[in-house]
Structure formats: C-alpha cells, structure tokens
Structure 1
C-alpha cells in the first residue's frame, strides 16, 4: 500500500459511509469534505471538512490531511481541482479520467469516438436541421448535475418539448433518442494503479422515473451479451486510465444489442449488493485501487442476490424502525440504513440485500422485491405516487 494511511473523500453521503468497514479492514482512515455535519459519512470519518464539494479551497485543506483524494460524487469544479493537481495533489481517479465524463454531452461524444455503442444524440441548442426534432418520444437531459431522475425528461411531443425548454432557459442540454429497451443492465468495474481490471457480475437494474428501484444479481443474460459488456468496460477503463471503481449503466435492446446509457466515475448504486454478496465489496475494491493495493476477487458468495432501495415517500424525521425490523426478519436479508435525519420523496434512506440459496428466476426475484416493498411503503404510501412525474 506504500505510504497511503489517509484517504480524502470529496463527498460525505452514503457512498462514503459504506467505505467505512473497508477502510478498517485495510487499515486506512477516511477524511471527508462534505457540506453538512448531518451527512452520513461524518459519523465514520477520522476528520471532516464542512464545505460544498465544489469548494476547491476546502479541497486544498483536505489535501493537507490525507495522502490521496477520491470522489463520492462528480459535482466538482474540475478546473479549480486541476490547479491543485498541477501542484502535486494526488487524485484517484485522476482528473483526466473525469474530464470527458462530467458533461453528459461530452461523455456521449467520448464514447462515440471510442467506437462504443450509444443512443443517437445531439446537443441543444441548436436542433439539427431541419427542426423540430425528427422523432418522438425523445430523452432530454441537463448536461451537468443530474442524478436520481433529476434533470432527465421523457418528451412525448412537441408541446411538451416547448414547455420544458421554456422552463430550462439557458441550461445546456443533451437530446437522445428514446430506446425501447428490453432490460437495463449495469456493470461495476475496477482498475488498479498497475492497470489490472476486475469486473463484477453484470446485474439487471429496474428503474422507476429514472431512480434505481431494484437490482438483480447476476443478470439473466447470454454469454454473448456478457462478453459485449465486459469488452465495453475494459475499453473504457483502459482508455481513461482509470484508478478506482466506475459504474456503467447500459440498455439491452430487443434484438440483443448493448448500448451505453451513462458512466458514473465512482462507486454506484447498482453495486450495493456487493457489500453482502461478493468476496470484495465495490467499496473495498475502490479503496484498494486508490491506495495502490492489488484488486480483490469480485466473485459472488451466494448464487444470486436481490437489492432493493428504501426510498423516501413522505416528508418525515422518522427512523422507520418497525419497517426495518420486519424487513430484517426476511431470511438472508441484510438492511443497510444510512442514518439520514430527514426523509423526503425519492431520497435514498437505505437499502436491503437478500442473498438467495439458488439462482432463482426473474419471477422469484420479483416476488422477493415486492415483499420488501410492501413492508416498506405499505398501502397508499408508494414513493412513485408521491413523486412528481418526470417532466412536470
């Protein structure tokens, strides 16, 4: 591991919080830069700097307290951080790996130039000639700072497009063709300082209004599809010279082709199952990479797993202890509660992973997820009913 004893993390949410056990195992301390004393990772950090994640002055202070800096989210000021990097501060992944990805239009262009398959896309403004756009439905995305359905809109017709453009005046946008996918998939992949690559079992993700609802591991896909995805991951990580874990979201089309949806340059919600289901969690794998260690095994310890996000469905300060206890009583279930002090519709409050004793089919996995959700949301308490529709 060399001299890495302290790892700085830009961001202090649940992703940084879930690095805690891995940090203990590896004998390193975490120092976080995060806006609020109530953020989850504050409770596990050796030290914390309370500042917005885009505050590069605070990041310079963070650098004085750690040996290497990594990222829990991508909402950073890349130009300001580049000045720090030029002064010798070590970021992993390096800023050159982040540069093509933070703006979603630039990310699309980078993937296209690598020859990786993506939906058709163009920037807005302007529309390509002739206008209006040649097809509906289409997907409209803000180029920066979108997550959990924020900044993503499914547009069905020209009046909807006109209305949303009026709302988003002067906001740089990306337009993509709508893909009527057969399934959504995701890959969690890691690359070490030495260039070794480790890819976790490909998973199926189920989204509702662009928010991850469930993850089934491993995905029921053909060897050919698995091969396509692994090749995409290796190409991407090697060209970017990544050090750390990246999440890659994908569409599987009806005719068996794979398209890249989005790249997350960090640990990712679709990999939370690895905490309980894999030999090495994505969080330990990320710390191993940024500390200069060899990568651990991504193999699953159980034949299959189901992960369900516990999403807020109301404005509340409840800890939902009774629901959590009921879910924890499900055989082979493990509840991870992030300790957030406030609930609001759509906020990720925790997740639950259920390890399966056999590689059950999709229908059986659906039933397990439905059981968890019926306990969590209860009658008349669906998060999806409480959250405004995308585009509204």
Structure 2
C-alpha cells in the first residue's frame, strides 16, 4: 500500500519504522529538499503543503492521503477526488481556533470561555490567539494589562484572532486517541506536559491523576472522534485545575509531540497507529511496556549550524534512554531539533532525569 503524507517534517520522518513494519510506502509532499522526511520517503513531491495542484498529483500516486500538519487549504482540497484520512470534514471544525472552540461548545465538551474582538468587555489577564497557523506557542499571547492589549491589537490588526479566558490551571495534560475505518477507538495513557515559553519541554507518562479525570478525558476523546467520524489519530491537550476540572485546550488532528514517548514506551507507537488507521488495518494496543516514560524535547538554544553530536552521545549513554535526532541543519532558539525518551522503573524520578538530560543539553547560562 502507498500512503501520501502532506508535510515532510519530523512527524512524517518518524513514520518510517512503522511504514517498514507494515509494508507501506510513503510518498511525501513537502517544499524543501532538506525537510526531515525527504530522506525516508519512497518518493517526494517538492511543493508547499497548501499546493492543491501538487496534492492532486500526489493522489494519483497513492491509495490514501494523510496529514503531518494542518496548514492546508481545505477549499482547494475539496475539489480533489482523493481518499483523505482523516476526512476534510473531520478537519474543517478544527483548523481555525474559533471554529474549534465553537465545535467543542456545540458538542457540550468543556473548554475555556472565548469570544471575538468587540463581543464583550476585556478584563485581564486574557489569552489572545491567531485563529490559523499557530503552533509551539506562536500566535498565542497572554495579555496582563491594557498597554500589552493595545500593543497586541495594533500588531495583529489585520490578523483574525480569538480571545479566551485565562485559565489558572494546575497542570497541563494530553492524550493521543485513534479511530479506525470501522469506528474502533484506542486511547493512549493520559500524560502530563510541561511547557516553557509555551513550548512543550517535557512529557511524563502516565500522568498522576485521579481515575475520574482519566475517565473524563477518555470520554471526551471518544465523543470528539465519534462526532467527527475521524479515521486517523488526534492529539488532545487539556488544562487541569486544582479542583480536578478538565478543560480542552487544543486539538491537533495528527500525531503530536505529546505522543513521541509511544515509540519506545507503548506496544504500538502513535505513528504506527496512524498508518494502521488510515490503511484500514486493525488498531494496535496502546498499553505501556514499562512503569512509565519521560520525553524531553531537545530545543534549540542558539542560532547555529551544528549536529550537537557530543551532547547527543552523552545523553544516549543514560540508562534506558533513546535519542531521536531530526536531522535539521539549522538551530535557532526554541526550534525542536530532536527528543529523548527514557523508560522509567517504579523508583525513578522523572523530574530528576529530566534535569540530568537538560544539564547535558543546555549551556549553563540557559
């Protein structure tokens, strides 16, 4: 079977082992020859991810098309006779953050209050988000005073935005969930994500939460994927308040950073699960293979061209640690260059191990 993938970043690159295991050939649509997935693809169409003409050509070469990112032009794609999984209708309510919040509210799923500019008075703190194309904290501003509000509104004058209430959460959680062509749903363990400057820095699996929180998150995941009739895998991010109130923060209609730990730590990785779902295969087990797991993102801390080989080799020597390097040639602050997954025994401290990994990766003054 041939699967087309729109997008050629690290999420597509990490599909390679699963594709080999399942006997699937990957054909990638991506703009740059140095994008990570180019090196593993059976074929590559070099074109922007929102180039529908290229996607039409891609559809002629493959059996089904899936997505590595959501920066696509749905209107243009709707004119193409192709098998998209997830379907365009399962993507449509999610790509615009205002539409996503509206979908959650309409389906009685818990989400922060939100509104459009001018619909109600502003009181601080609040959150301002660009409605399209934001990721890794880009396009998200926490506004704490009038001066910052005035500056943000002036800067974003021509950009559609949505305003959200500021949630004083206790922790941030996430879950990966997959749905097959037959409607079978598999939910992965709930994880805790730790952010710095609105970029995911660490993921701890499983999260230490109550059974009621686990049940609520699983129920939300089932409802969401069933209502959208998803075929594929979605990542769902949540806020958890001090009184165990769960609110959906954002939904990613694809594999997700919070699921990278699954490559080593689960019976079926999120990447294999995506390919299983879109290929019409039975879904695999999401069970953990160890007591727990830690994922640490290796983020850029400088503007440079380096493969940081010495640092990566030092981290790889830590017990039960696996380094994934995305092969990006250029480093810049906050850019995801790779990640480390460490399998945890019952006595291991995820926080201590994260500190050890980060002490090797980051210079002392960072």
Q: Normalising TM by the smaller chain, what interval? A: over 0.9
Equivalent in 16, 21, 28 of residue 20 of structure 1: 16
Equivalent in 356, 359, 362 of residue 371 of structure 1: 356
Deviations 1:174-207 (A, max 9, x none): 1111111010000100000000000000000001
Structure 1 runs (4+) greater than 4 angstroms displaced: none
What SS is found at the alignment partner of 2:78?
helix
Q: Displacement, 1:301?
A: 0.5
What SS is found at the alignment partner of 1:64?
helix
What SS is found at the alignment partner of 2:233?
strand
Q: Displacement, 1:169?
A: 1.1
Q: Partner residue of 2:175?
A: 187
Q: Displacement, 1:339?
A: 0.5
For residues 161 and 367 of structure 1, the distance between their equivalents in structure 2, rounded to whole angstroms, comes to 38
Tell me if 1:271 matches 2:259.
yes
What SS is found at the alignment partner of 1:97?
helix
Equivalent in 329, 332, 341 of residue 329 of structure 2: 341
For residues 164 and 359 of structure 1, the distance between their equivalents in structure 2, rounded to whole angstroms, comes to 46
Q: Partner residue of 1:385?
A: none
Aligned pairs (5 A) from 1:250-329 = 250-329=238-317
For residues 92 and 79 of structure 2, the distance between their equivalents in structure 1, rounded to whole angstroms, comes to 14
Equivalent in 58, 74, 81 of residue 78 of structure 1: 74
- TM-score by length of structure 1 reads 0.93
Deviations 1:87-128 (A, max 9, x none): 3x100000000000000000000000000000111012x242
- TM-score by length of structure 2 reads 0.99
For residues 202 and 148 of structure 2, the distance between their equivalents in structure 1, rounded to whole angstroms, comes to 29
Aligned pairs (5 A) from 1:117-156 = 117-124=110-117, 126-128=118-120, 131=121, 133=122, 135-156=123-144
Deviations 1:196-242 (A, max 9, x none): 00000000000111110000000000000000100000000000000
Contact 1:303 1:359 in 2 (8 A): no
For residues 202 and 106 of structure 2, the distance between their equivalents in structure 1, rounded to whole angstroms, comes to 32
Tell me if 1:38 matches 2:23.
no
Q: Displacement, 1:359?
A: 6.3
Q: Displacement, 1:378?
A: 2.2
Kindly tell me the number of residue pairs found equivalent between the two proteins: 366
Q: Partner residue of 1:387?
A: none
Q: Partner residue of 1:202?
A: 190
Q: Displacement, 1:159?
A: 1.1
For residues 23 and 127 of structure 2, the distance between their equivalents in structure 1, rounded to whole angstroms, comes to 45
Q: Displacement, 1:357?
A: 1.7
- Mark the CA change 1:195 to 1:180 in structure 2 (over 3 Å): closer, same or farther: same
Deviations 1:10-48 (A, max 9, x none): 000000000000000000100000010000000000000
Structure 2: gaps (5+ residues): none
Q: Partner residue of 2:102?
A: 109
- CA RMSD in angstroms comes to 0.7
For residues 82 and 262 of structure 1, the distance between their equivalents in structure 2, rounded to whole angstroms, comes to 24
